[in-house]
Amino acid sequence: MRILLVDDEADLVDAIARGLRRNGYAVDTALDGDEALAKATWTPYDLICLDITMPGIDGFEVCRSLRQNPPEGVAPRILMLTARDTVEERIRGLDVGADDYLVKPFAFDELAARVRSLLRRDPGRTGAVLEVGTLRLDTATHGVTRADRNMDLTAKEFALLRYFMSRPGEVVSQEDLLDHVWDEHADPFTNTVRVTVGTLRRKLSVEGETSLIETIVGSGYRLTDGGAGS
């Protein structure tokens, strides 16, 4: 899943971004509201972590703008991160369209839990554990098993599988994967998606069972349950 982290404290942004990336998320960053709106206009983020007090456009205005004019018609989840801890400020944040509100200072583990919770609110992400056929992924522990066999995945492979498992049976294009699993530094002209899908497919292989990830020529990839006829 792809996240935009917005805060004018550069050191804090770097620290949180590193932690989220270790948890398998693709993370872009912005240091003010104008940059956040510009990036959100051309990238379909799954979640935006948004500070309130910033130079130029503040977080309230960014949130309101994204709710009134959602990119591509789909508004991202918004988690406000702020030192403003009054009830009135929290109510205002929720009223302008925030989905959740976390007061600074906060423990990173709580932030990670709120991120997981918000991302599960979308269709196909109804619980902490995703299951497709004999494949099981725990978003909290980062454990992955197939037919009770543990899978040793890299952070990027885990992120890729999590995205596939949130859309089982759907054909997912390479462009869609770049938008949601890779960050803004990814080179769209490389074969990074094909290579990562290939390594994930091999790691998920279990002798005697059907391959779970199909290549749909000219369209992208599809995760199946491994059943007959897949």
Count of beta carbons in the 10 Å neighbourhood of residue 139: 24
User: 223, 212 in Cβ contact below 8 A?
Assistant: yes
Torsion of CA 111, 117, 120, 126, to 10 degrees: 150
The pLDDT score that the predictor gives to residue 230 is: 39
Domains of the chain, earliest start first:
2-119 (3.40.50.2300), 129-223 (1.10.10.10)
Dist. CA 41–CA 26, nearest whole Å: 17
65-75 pLDDT per residue, tens: 888 887 766 77
Supply φ then ψ for residue 114, to 5 degrees: -70, -35
Q: Is the dihedral of CA 83, 38, 31, 179 positive or negative?
A: positive
- The reported pLDDT for the residue numbered 184 is 86
User: What pairs with residue 28 in β-bridges?
Assistant: 4
Helix (H, G, I), strand (E, B) or coil at 66: helix
pLDDT in tens, 198-228: 999 999 887 666 778 999 999 999 999 876 4
| The pLDDT value given to residue 124 | 44
Which residues partner with 26 through β-bridges? 2
Query: Quick one: how far is CA 189 from the chain centroid?
Result: 22
- Number of other residues whose CB lies within 10 A of the CB of residue 74: 10
The angle at the Cα of 158, spanning 164 to 104, to the nearest 5 degrees, equals: 105
128/126 Cα distance (integer angstroms): 7
- Classify the C-alpha dihedral 15-17-18-24 as positive or negative: positive
Instruction: Show the beta-strand stretches assigned E in 104-219.
Output: 129-132, 135-138, 143-146, 149-150, 171-172, 213-216
What are the residue ranges in the chain where pLDDT is below 50? 123-126, 228-230
pLDDT of residue 117: 87
